[in-house]
Amino acid sequence: MDIYGNALLDFHRFGKADVLWLHNTYGDPEEMPIDIFFREEEEMPEIELKALNLCRGKVLDVGAGVGSHALLLDKKGAEVTAIDISPIAVQIMQERGVKKPQLQDFFTLTEKYDTLLFMMNGIGLTGTLQGFENFLQSAKKVLNLNGQLLFDSSDISYLYEDMPMPTDYYFGEISYCYEYKKQKGNWFNWLYIDPATLQRLSKQHGWSCKIVEVDEQDQYLAQLTRP
């Protein structure tokens, strides 16, 4: 059941939606503001705008949601394909005018690109540190020579200021579950990777990693390339 997609569709059709709850493994459920998925350029944080300006060549917008970033790239004349695993999100992208939306799982891709773009912590879809390491290997197969990965993430160690840091798994590995109109979806794993761990794993797997920008919320933009 596409709980997330149903919330997006209500907002797309009616300009409003019921509360989309995000259950997690570290605290109380949080309200997920749906309007952020529909942001215009002037509402986007500097990190996202910087990432869009760094895009080059054939761009793949992964986990594109309702296509807000893809629409801006289309407007700039970029060659961008926007993929998501939510059929409803892809339908909304089509209705919003995204030029090349696709219902596609990144891990089954065969086509090659120059830029892989993961916004709004889209790199979290790798789920775990091991999943991220596997992803670094997979990404090499779908990037052209001199290609790049662009993504934002954050250090969430602050969540553990008042409780002990986990010892049996990486602290940035979180599980989430969407709830909308009293219907719950399946739990899924999500990853937040701190910059030091990112630098270490990137080097270990043959990537050059540049932290392009860090904001006041400790969110950062990373650019990974193959030396």
Strand 173-180 relative to strand 143-154: parallel, antiparallel, unpaired? unpaired
Among the listed residues 81, 33, 35, 23, the one whose alpha carbon sits nearest the alpha carbon of residue 55:
81
Among the listed residues 37, 43, 41, 62, the one whose alpha carbon sits nearest the alpha carbon of residue 53:
41
β-sheet bridge partners, residue 214: 220
Q: Residue 92: what pLDDT?
A: 98
| 27-41 confidence digits (pLDDT tens) | 899 999 999 999 999
DSSP state of 225: E
Distance CA 138, CA 59 (A): 16
| 79-97 confidence digits (pLDDT tens) | 999 999 999 999 999 999 9
